[in-house]
Structure 1
Amino acid sequence: MDFEYTDKVKGLQKRVTEFMEDHVYPAEAVFEHQLEGFRRAGNAWQPTPIIEELKGKAKAAGLWNLFLPESKLGAGLTNLEYAPLAEIMGRSGIGPEPFNCSAPDTGNMETIVRYGTPEQQEQWLKPLLDGTIRSAFAMTEPAVASSDATNIESSIQRDGDHYVLNGRKWWTSGANDPRCKVMIFMGKSDPTHQNRHQQQSMILVPMDTPGVKVLRHLPVFGFDDAPHGHAEIDFENVRVPASNMLLGEGRGFEIAQGRLGPGRIHHCMRLIGRAERALEMMCKRALSRTAFGRKIADQGVTRERIANSRILIDQARFLVLNAAFKMDKVGNKHARQEIAMIKVAAPAMACQVIDWAMQVHGGGAMSDEFGLAHAYASARSLRFADGPDEVHRNAIAKEELSRYLQKP
């Protein structure tokens, strides 16, 4: 493949970079100040005015919904074209949302585009694309090892023109946010089906449905990630119309595979940007600080870490571009190994680069002073999100072994 970006992508890179420099980076401190004010007032779970302001500016600039390949509803970009733009957005913890390109909304919108009915798209996709609401994805459960999606125990039972949902979910990102109006819920609609991959279904659940109870928010290494957050939710006899079913009963595992592919690679694209910013911070800090009579940048161990960071970041970027290229050419299903590879490589890379940046910054890096601790926590969490490393490594190994099993 040709790694050279097209003129169209280069133009968008320039525009997104300028928007980040002019609006997003200066807004980071404002965001934290506004959020801290909400925390002191006793309620961090409310939209910050600065983010809503940035969304209006990005929409006015035509930098809106840049994802959604193979859909007229997006910007008409392929996965390969979107990758460098997501990387730029990922440089900031608040970067993706102003462009309406943040998780889990991007994955949910792609799901509804691919599998939703016209009525479902009108009710939920349109306001999500407009950025007037947000969404959540309720899959993981506290009582089972959810890395194996066939373990899911939550139930979806037909009752006339409705389905009744029962179960407990957690790590439902975004459900604490008052802008979150709908969830995609995964549960078992036919637990006795002989094919264990056809026991599950996915269904749209409005947040205000009776029986939906957000029990608590779950901090990540002490960070609440407000106002987005991660919730534990109880579903008790939740009744939703049968028309809310996505694609059909027994198609939940199929939808999950289609949804998680783009979601996984989007995380990796953004992680590369965050690692790039950590490397920049590392270099600037190393050049500005002196220890034992020499600039930290002149210490051999620091130079080794800077060099290795550049190697690791570029390796991950090329893996991302290769996976995106294959997704565009042969589809998400046939690119599953490449997606699995980058999903293992990118979070591990980001954790290592951010860790080295923290060492150069010294003890202050463990505080909120530089944003590195939060960046590390976010990167580390992505070794679990959308499937843990072990699951992806197992899939990669099975794919490799299958090549030899097929030989006579």
Structure 2
Amino acid sequence: MTLNAAPTALPQPFGHGFPADPHAVYARLRAMGSVHRVALPDGSPVWLVTREADVRRGLADPRLSVDKRHSGTGFKGFALPPALDANLLNIDAEDHLRLRRLVSQGFTPRHVEALRGSVQAAVDAGVERLAERLAAEGRADVVEELARPLPLTVIGELLAVPEAEREAFSGWVAAMLTPASREELASAIGAVHGFLLDLVARRRARPGDDILSDLIAARDDEDRLSENELVSLAFLLLMAGSENVQHLLGNGLLTLLTHPRELAALRARPELLPQAVEELLRHSHANHTAIRRFPTEPVDIGGVRIPAGDTVLFSLAAAHRDPARYPAPDRFDLDREDKAHLALGHGLHYCLGAPLARMQVSAALGTLLRRLPSLRLACAAEEVPWTTTFRFHAVRELPVAVSADGAVTHRPGTAPDR
């Protein structure tokens, strides 16, 4: 049976109307029940879980595997070559922990803190580009000047990816996530595959002081991972490390610019920035769903029995707006007492790069608020373009301007243009 040939017609919540207001769709589903049998846009049948308590429990349930070998029919995610597929998002239990220990050495609190200076330098460079574009043209795109280049620079330096090659990788990943056609998807996957094989070969020939060189040593000298696992880890680090921060920065800044009371409070009290980042992760995080799961045995979720091998999608977006967990959940609230969220994962698959992601977003937002105190949207909020799929909802462009009397606060050691 093909994925499009379901025996009975299933609801398709991700169709017309979903991109305009995804949270309204999730709210209707959540009100009707926690678990729904629905079809994805390509017709693939999945179980969609919407209520926070069930999502939180399910993400930590070891009976729900990310390993595609446990999949029956339904959505499996990208069809990737083995050299891209053997990563932490597709591996459970002992193998997951083995690979996680190898990679986590580069993301310890000590290592992340050591990156603070280089992260701030990348932020300053991006904000400077933004300020120059604003001065020259009166408006600029935050995504183009800051949100996309920042994480590419940070994760690119961690893996020692040559600067000239980072933009191409970002373009291929974007094409993978939102391809215009099957041909474009296949071409992007092929380009990413070839690029990473070449990158590993070059680093193997000339190792350096970077995470990729450490992983190659673990492969070649200690036989602690396979060649496919090595390349796949590089793929995951580059893709997740660049895309997630970009989307959180774009979505998060739009949220701040459309909530003037909270923005004013944050400008007046920069010490509120850490809690603002946590609330943005709950309220404005781009990822709609966690990585798909496959029950290894029949499981009960929200009173629904789900057969082994079916595909389960846990909706982070629906969970984060669940009124049973969060009072007034649609409100962006700096003073919210319950700041817990699932945006960075839960259980075994909690995001390794979470501290580094928080550091980048905090540094970027803090610097923007300090150096561009009169930053504002350059269009109506409804005109901001989005990229929306059942997987994520992210600002594609964020046009901004500064008020006529606002201009730019210059970095220490620099002088205003005369």
Instruction: With the length of structure 1 as denominator, give the TM-score of the two structures.
Output: 0.28
Instruction: Pick the structure with more strand per residue.
Output: 1
Instruction: With the length of structure 2 as denominator, give the TM-score of the two structures.
Output: 0.27
Higher relative contact order (CA 8 A, sep 6+): 2
